[in-house]
Chain A
Amino acid sequence: NAGVTQTPKFQVLKTGQSMTLQCAQDMNHNSMYWYRQDPGMGLRLIYYSASEGTTDKGEVPNGYNVSRLNKREFSLRLESAAPSQTSVYFCASSGQGYEQFFGPGTRLTVL
Chain B
Amino acid sequence: DAKTTQPTSMDCAEGRAANLPCNHSTISGNEYVYWYRQIHSQGPQYIIHGLKNNETNEMASLIITEDRKSSTLILPHATLRDTAVYYCIVRGDAGNNRKLIWGLGTSLAVNP
Residues in A lying within 8 Å of B, measured CB to CB: 4, 30-31, 33, 35, 40-45, 48, 50-51, 58-59, 88, 90, 92, 94, 98-105
Contacts and interface: CB of A to CB of B under 8 A. Distances in A.
A42 B96 contact: no
Interface stretch (B18-26, B41-49, B64-72): B41-49
Nearest to B44: A102
Given A33-B99, A45-B101, 9 more contacts: A4-B43, A42-B87, A42-B103, A42-B105, A50-B98, A100-B44, A102-B43, A105-B41, A105-B42
Given A42-B103, A51-B96, A98 B32 contact: yes
A63 to B, nearest CB: 19
Interface string B31-75: 010101000011111100100000000000000000000000000
Given A101-B46, A103-B43, A45 B100 contact: yes
Which 6 pairs, one residue from A and one from B, show the smallest C-beta to C-beta distance? A102-B43, A42-B102, A99-B46, A50-B96, A43-B102, A102-B44
Interface residues of B, number: 22
Among A40, A43, A48, residue most surrounded by chain B Cβ atoms (within 10 Å):
A43
Counting chain A CB atoms within 10 Å of each CB, which of B34, B97, B102 scores highest? B102
Nearest to A40: B104
Contacts of B32: 98
Nearest to A88: B41
